[in-house]
Structure 1
Amino acid sequence: MLNKTASRSFYLNLWLGLVGLVVGIFAGFAVGISPALLLVAIVAVAGLIWFFASFEQAVIGLLILRSSLDLFSAQQLPAAFAIALNALTILYVLVALLTGKAVKIDKFWWFFALWIIFQSLWVILLPLGGLGMDASFLMSGVRVWLRYFSWLMVYLLVMQLKDNVPPEKIVSMLLLSLVAPISIALLQIFLPSSMLPSLLTSQGKAGSNVSGTLGFPNGLGIFLTMFIALVWWKLSISSKRLPWLLLLGLVSFVFVRTGYFTGLVAVLLLILFINSTKITPVRAIGVVLFCCAFLWMFASTEFGQQRLTEIYDTPLLNPNIDVSRSIILSYGDSNSFNWRIAHWTYLINAWSQFPILGYGLDTSPLLGIRDFNTGSGYAPHNDYIRFLVEQGVVGLTGFLCFLVGQGWYLVHLLRNSQSVNSRRNLCLILIALFVANIVSMLTSNIMDATTFFFYWWTLVAIAGWGNEYWRPNLATKSA
């Protein structure tokens, strides 16, 4: 036993010595290039020490911080954050392996990792000429793959909190991630643009819609869909309901001001799904009142009225408009539904040229409708068509298998959590969110919602912890 401990200590000291050597070399070069780089190195080392010295607090702090970063996308801060988080997670795992500490991984993580490896196929095939685009688009594909990989690392990092932090505490702390987006969104709602900093007006609004710190209204809408569900979860396990009801009202108010129409349907599905397992007169009345209030808030906005009117001028509800006419109308009527039909038609026509493996990751914006003024393309606004065009039939099949695997895993967790209400309610909420998302993927760019998935995989990792990690005394009430 003593020899084993000494061996671990030797490898840890060796690793620390190597890190110190690398830091010393970098610091020497940094001084020669720019004193500012030396400051960055010092801050990075200090952050690294803090990460290992206060691991649980550091991870929770990083989780909370993520919702504030998209406002600085032009400065590449979210990308830098993701790369740093990936590096920290890998470093933590390496140190744990060198010191003999257990690395906590569940079976679903391996399934997730298998899908990430599968995605790398399109990164490899692109420079080899196996796809519809050439190697000049490689960096775009690498960027998308790294985004997917960062979600896997978030899942792995959160799993390391197991045994150290109660799951209810982590989920509750995640609600602090609402502070920055909601605060900025309220400023965008109640203050004129002339009074807002340029950073908030350049990315903060699209017409009358707000985006908080998420950079785009739909991004904030997708993000708030999840947190409406989490507030509902807190409502289900708390004896004091009034504060959570007030927070639910505030989040819902900001949500409707994003103008995220698809999210409106998603939230209604979410609430109905969550409450479908236990119907009581009081609950039924509460759900009806909430849905009516939610619809009224959306319909009372100018954008909401416009969106509801647009539906009647699409093939969906108007028998006098077919797909061809919808495409023609999309050029002049500013109807986003007709625009989507036209965009999808062009994308599917492009897909027919490379149906098996597609064109490559992040190439779909180049294949559909493009902006006449800038020449830039648009995201597909349908994640199933995205995978079909970018990865062909093979990639779409893999994506659907990944979704089916997620659904099966969440149902499995729900069945195993019946004895602990707080865990069961969280699993039920995750299933409801999952159903809402696979529906929203029909008309939205859900897979582009990096911040949403950062928290989604955090919650899925936590829900996978066994019942013994959840405190039954907090689960005395079911919403």
Structure 2
Amino acid sequence: MLTNKSSSSSARLTFWLGLVGLPIGIVAGFLAGASPLLLCLALIVGAALLWFFTSFEQAVIGLLILRSSLDLFSGLQLPSAFAIGINALTILYVVVALLTGKAVHTDKFWWFFVGWVMMQSLWVILLPLGGLGMGAAFLPSAIKVWMRYFSWLMIYLLVMQLKDRVPPEKLVSLLLLSLVAPISVALMQIFLPASILPSLLTAQAKAGSNVSGTLGFPNGLGIFLTMFIALIWWKLSTSQKRLPWMILLGLVSFVFVRTGYFTGIGAVFLLILFINSTKITPIRVIGVVLFCSAFVYMFGSTEFGQQRLTEIYQTPLLNPNIDISRAIILSYGDGNSFNWRLAHWNYLIEAWKQFPILGYGLDSSPVLGIKDFRTGSGFAPHNDYLRFLVEQGIVGLLGFVLFLTVQGVHLVNLLRSSPPKSDRRNLCLLLLALFVANLASMLSSNIVDATTFFLYWWTLVAIAGWGNEYWQTHRLTQSA
């Protein structure tokens, strides 16, 4: 029976390859006559497609690892080209699989994900029709944001197709190779003089102290490293040889604090506490306290860290003599990023009141808040909930909150379905902790803009959803 099914699938594949081969031959002949360069490009694309289908597992893993190196080349639109290529490859793979009778793996959450992404297209459609606060001139930006959400969906679908091909533990471990390029470049930015570094590696640094690695912006690297600190902690809890992972955790933590991602400090603390809350032992408590103390010390030892810690004392949060109105006034001259946020949010809320139901449209928030007096350009909201409220109105914010709620319920269900003390359960706990940390970080950061972070986030969520039959459910050694 299996042989007949395999033969039938091979026959269908041969038929479709033959059917597709005819127009390809015709196009190749046309390109050869029109331009040999176009023919060479077509041959390269054809070879890449052949490699993708014949070495599917290696191709997907290689592309996932490569993504963390591309943001340096945003000026050349490489990240956008990568996203479009991933989307096209995923769709092509699914089409070929359906035509050849192969299984296409999905889950219930992915279909909900589809519904949310399709909901986002409403704001793309309404923009040129005049149904939002902005007009058709913002359509290219809106399409770009929608494509970002669509890319999340495609990454999730693509990784789901690996579930019967690659051991999940191995795949998660291989993702750690994505740290090599960002950490290497960040260490160059820390220890080498800026004068000898290419301008590409220093363009986004602030005050000569913050590092961005290959992620293009310090906060982007900080958000990215938050996830990998959690992954390294997962490896530390599952590995018999802990010293290498402790060294790696220290290295990544050192680079993290040099990004100056202040919001991430609280996110990492919340993450570590959440992960260790299920198994409290004296040694674990001491380890967590030492790690958090070292984290704060490293951050406070930097010039930027000292500045941020000083700033927070000049905000309504810790200074009872400063109310919100005064903080907004002070923000125009004191350079305090916390007070600046209050002023920026005030502008955005006042703008939202003009179009409260459906908002202004995707990616419209930067033009509605405070402007950079030097360039005239706007700033991102630095609050993702406010972003959805302003750009998509009450309808969009409720949709976003529903999306987050269903996502959290999905992670809880994965955790409950995992065997006790299994690798899968620990990964699900890690993801749930990271999810909660991100919910908090979204109050003052642009987490939704962290495209690289979300590629790896949806990869891990997809892997966690593969099911217990794909995971090695072995007992873990008691943590020291």
Alignment TM-score, normalising by the size of structure 2: 0.96
Does the 8 A contact of 2:419 with 2:473 survive in 1?
no
Aligned equivalent of 2:397: 396
What is the match of residue 387 of structure 2?
Answer: 386
Residue 165 of structure 2 is aligned to residue 164 of structure 1: yes
CA gap 1:418/1:474 in 2 versus in 1, 3 angstroms: closer
- DSSP 3-state at the match of 1:334: coil
Say which is worse superposed, 322-331 or 352-361, in terms of deviation.
322-331
Is the contact made by 1:417 and 1:467 (CA closer than 8 Å) also made in structure 2? yes
Describe the superposition over 1:280-307 as per-residue Cα deviations: whole angstroms up to 9, x where unpaired: 0110100000000001000010100000
Structure 1 counterpart of 2:463: 462
2:339 maps to 338
Counterparts of 1:30 and 1:381, CA distance in 2: 48
**Whole-angstrom distance in 1 between the partners of 2:478 and 2:38:** 54
**1:296-375 alignment to 2 at 5 Å?**
296-375=297-376
1:171 deviates by: 0.2
Residue deviations 1:448-468 (CA, integer Å, cap 9, x gap): 000000000000001112112
Q: Which amino acid aligns with 2:53?
A: F
Contact 1:193–1:201 (CA under 8 A) maintained in structure 2: yes
Aligned counterparts of 1:129 and 1:18: Cα–Cα separation in 2 = 45
What is the Cα deviation at residue 213 of structure 1? Answer: 0.2
Q: C-alpha separation between the residues in 1 aligned to 2:143 and 2:27?
A: 26
1:189 aligns with 2:190: yes
Match of residue 448 from structure 1: 449
Q: Structure 1: any 5+ residue segments left out of the alignment?
A: none
Q: Distance in 2 between matches of 1:263 and 1:137?
A: 31
Residues 371 and 377 in structure 1, CA contact (< 8 A), matched pair in contact too: yes
Q: Distance in 2 between matches of 1:20 and 1:184?
A: 44
CA change 1:261–1:461 in 2 (3 A) is same
Cα pair 2:186 2:255 within 8 Å, conserved: yes
1:256 aligned to 2:267?
Answer: no
Q: Which moved more, 1:409-418 or 1:387-396?
A: 409-418
CA distance in 2 between partners of 1:236 and 1:105 (Å): 30
Once the two structures are superposed, what CA deviation does each residue of 1:85-117 show, in whole Å capped at 9, x if it has no partner?
Answer: 000000000011001001011111111111111
Q: Does 1:80 align with 2:78?
A: no
Give 3-state SS (helix, strand or coil) of 2:332's partner.
Answer: coil
**Counterpart for residue 97 of structure 1:** 98
Structure 1 length normalisation: TM-score? 0.96
Aligned residues with identical type, % of pairs? 77
Contact (CA 8 Å) 2:422, 2:476: kept in 1 or not? yes
Alignment of 1:88-127 (within 5 A): 88-127=89-128
In the alignment, the residues of structure 2 paired with residue 72 and residue 5 of structure 1 have an alpha-carbon distance, to the nearest angstrom, of 44
- 1:458–1:362 CA distance, 2 compared to 1 (3 A): same
Change (3 A) 1:234 1:474: farther
Structure-to-structure mapping, 1:31-70, within 5 angstroms: 31=32, 35-70=36-71
Quote how far apart the aligned CAs of 1:12 are: 2.9
Quick check: 1:429 aligned with 2:430? Answer: yes
Partner Cα separation in structure 1 for residue 479 and residue 41 of structure 2? 49
Contact 1:425 1:478 in 2 (8 A): no
| Counterparts of 1:413 and 1:430, CA distance in 2 | 10
- Give the residue type in structure 2 aligned to 1:300: S
- Contact map agreement 1:387 1:399 (CA 8 A) in 2: yes
Deviation at 1:474, TM superposition (A): 7.1
> 2:409, 2:129 → 1: CA distance?
36
Q: Could you tell me how far apart the structure 2 residues matched to 1:212 and 1:428 are?
A: 28
1:275 to 2:239 alignment: no
Residue correspondences, number: 479
Write out aligned runs for 1:15-30 (5 A): 15-24=16-25, 26-27=27-28, 30=31
